[in-house]
Amino acid sequence: MFNSLKFKIIVMAILIISTIQVTAMMRDIKTTEEKLLTGQMEKARLFSESVKHGIMVLMLKNRWQDLQSMMKNIVSNAGELRKLSIFLPENGIIVVSSEEGDIGRKILDEDLQRYREDKESASFLVEHNGERLASKFTEIPNQPACHRCHGSTRAVLGVLDLEISLAEVSKDIDEFENKRLKDGLVGFTLVIGSFLLIFGLMIDRPITKMIRTIRRIEEGDLSARMDDGKNDELGHMAKSFNSMVESLEKANRKIEKYHEEQMQRAAKLASIGEVASGIAHEIKNPLTGISCAVQMLQSDLKEDDSRRETTMEILSNIKRLDRIVQNLLNYAKPKIPRFLPYRIDNILDKANFFVYPRAKKQGIEIETDICDEIPAVLMDADQMQQVFLNLMINALQEMHAGGKLRISICTAKYDDIKGRLRRPMDTEEVLIVSFADTGSGINPEDISNLFEPFFTKKTQGTGLGLSISSGIIKTHKGEIGVESELGKGSVFTIYLPVKTNEE
């Protein structure tokens, strides 16, 4: 459940929506609180200016004795106003106050410090006796009309300190916060509910159907299809998936057909192998007897006897038949390879030794190109020599009127040549041996059948040479391929994994 995409999307949506809701709600509360407090501070400023004007009028009329009673009346008649007082700017001593007990006392040091740091605005929020207040300091200037009583040396006669209660504002803020919280909770519930409903109808339900369809296909029902009627992203994905399943169904039918053909072919080849093996065994023993008998007859003939030529021809054909029988036996029951580390150029030299006389007789030049530092590789030397001989003899048979056979051996990194291979190899380095002739080439339609047993277009041979060679290369975990062009020749290439010990 916790790993499901549905759960992750819902959790992320809840987190995002709640973050947006909380941020918006906190911003609204903060903005409203600032507006209310700003309004209260403005009210304190207006109150202060009004009181200051009243004070100036009394002082000009020389009625400063009435200041005390005026302040008391103002405070008692204004419900939000908590205190009015006048203190000296030099030392903070209160000279007039709506609370008589404060006269002669000094205002708080932090309040005096605030006034001295910001004489122009001098508006701030304070908390006295557990109550939040908006405080405003207003200077009472020493005007020319006041010089008669106060002299002209002081610029400021005193500072009016006015404090307004924020109780009502705090109550309004609390009420707004509660209302905003309730509205936010209702809005959050509606948004989340709407999201879950839309998500369920438009995303969760179609995806659930898709998953059911995919599970049916996993169980082997390739006839299952997704609902692709919608013209949105899920509909496009369903159409693409259905197209993929149709291609998979076609490919599956082809694979089944190919598998059936391969099974029939395997059964056919197994039958042919059994028959060939039986025939080969039945022929080999009599053939050996005939060979011995002909050799005995030949030994009784004189050197100038004309019948010796006939016996030589008989022995030559017996050897040919023996090779054919041996090929049949090698195909039907190939021997188990014995893997040992060998240098492949040494094996090539041995194969070249056997082929060279025939190549020289046909006027064929054999050219070798061997890279430096060819590593010793695990292989069965006899079987690999047989592969080389088969490929070289086939090349010589294609070059009746002479030509050139170029043999090259080199190594390459697997990652660099893996695009040429039909199947992956478990190796980092690959040994590459190629045989390029200048013969007549191979018909394109015959290339796919070259390595099939008994396939040949030649008048001589059984068509087992390339099939046996392919089987040997496969037992060495390698691969053999061919490229050919009519009139220009063919190139047979062997790819062998470079392994120096058993793995």
Supply the mean pLDDT for the chain.
Answer: 80
- For residues 498 and 431, give the distance between their C-alpha atoms in angstroms, rounded to a whole number: 6
**Residues in Cβ contact with 111 at an 8 Å cutoff, skipping those fewer than 6 apart:** 92, 126, 135, 161
Q: What is the pLDDT of residue 456?
A: 65
The reply to whether CATH 3.30.565.10 applies to domain 337-497 is yes
Measure the CA angle with vertex 151, ends 150 and 156; round to 5°. 65
pLDDT of residue 501: 61
Cα separation, 242 vs 254, whole angstroms = 18
- Model confidence at 483: pLDDT above 80: yes
Task: Tell me whether strands 429-437 and 403-413 are parallel, antiparallel or unpaired.
Answer: antiparallel
**In CATH, what number does 5-172 get?**
3.30.450.20
Helix (H) or strand (E) holding 174: helix 167-199
pLDDT of residue 445: 81
Q: By mean pLDDT, which of 77-81, 98-102, 317-321 is the weakest? A: 317-321
Cβ neighbours around 208 below 10 Å, total: 12
In which band, very low, low, confident or very high, does the pLDDT at 457 lie, cut at 50, 70 and 90?
A: low
Domain 5-172 and domain 337-497, same fold? Reply is no
What is the DSSP-derived secondary structure letter of residue 200? Answer: I
Confidence of residue 191 (pLDDT cuts 50, 70, 90): confident
Distance CA 57, CA 65 (A): 12
Contact 432, 493 (CB under 8 A): yes
The verdict on pTM exceeding 0.85 is no
* Beta-strand relationship, 403-413 and 364-370: parallel
Q: CA–CA separation, 297 vs 379, rounded Å?
A: 43
Q: What whole-number distance in Å separates Cα of residue 394 and Cα of residue 383?
A: 17
pLDDT of residue 278: 61
Domain boundaries, the chain: 5-172, 234-333, 337-497
Q: Which CATH number fits domain 234-333: 1.25.40, 1.10.3470, 1.10.10, 1.10.287?
A: 1.10.287
What's the pLDDT tens digit per position in 405-438? 999 999 999 888 888 888 888 888 899 999 999 8
| Residue 434, pLDDT score | 93
For 115-171, give the DSSP string: HHH-TTT-EEEEEETTEEEEEEEEEEE--GGGHHHH-SS-SEEEEEEEEEE-HHHHH
Is 92 a residue whose pLDDT tops 60? yes
- DSSP-H helix ranges across 363-489: 381-398, 414-417, 444-447, 465-475
Average pLDDT of the segment spanning 447-451: 74
- In 278-428, at which residue ranges do the beta strands (DSSP E only) sit? 340-342, 364-370, 377-379, 403-413
Which helix (H) or strand (E) segment is 334 a member of? none
Residue among 43, 52, 103 nearest 78 (CA): 43
User: Which residue did the predictor score with more confidence, 281 or 476?
Assistant: 476
The tokens of 309 are what?
């030529």
Using alpha carbons, select from 207, 197, 201 the residue that is nearest to residue 227: 207
Query: What is the layout of strands, in order, in the sheet containing 489-497?
Result: 364-370, 403-413, 429-437, 489-497, 479-485
Phi-psi domain of 64 (left: phi exceeds 0; alpha: psi -120 through 50; beta: other): alpha
Q: Tell me the CA end-to-end span of the chain in Å, nearest whole number.
A: 44
CA distance 388 to 366: 13
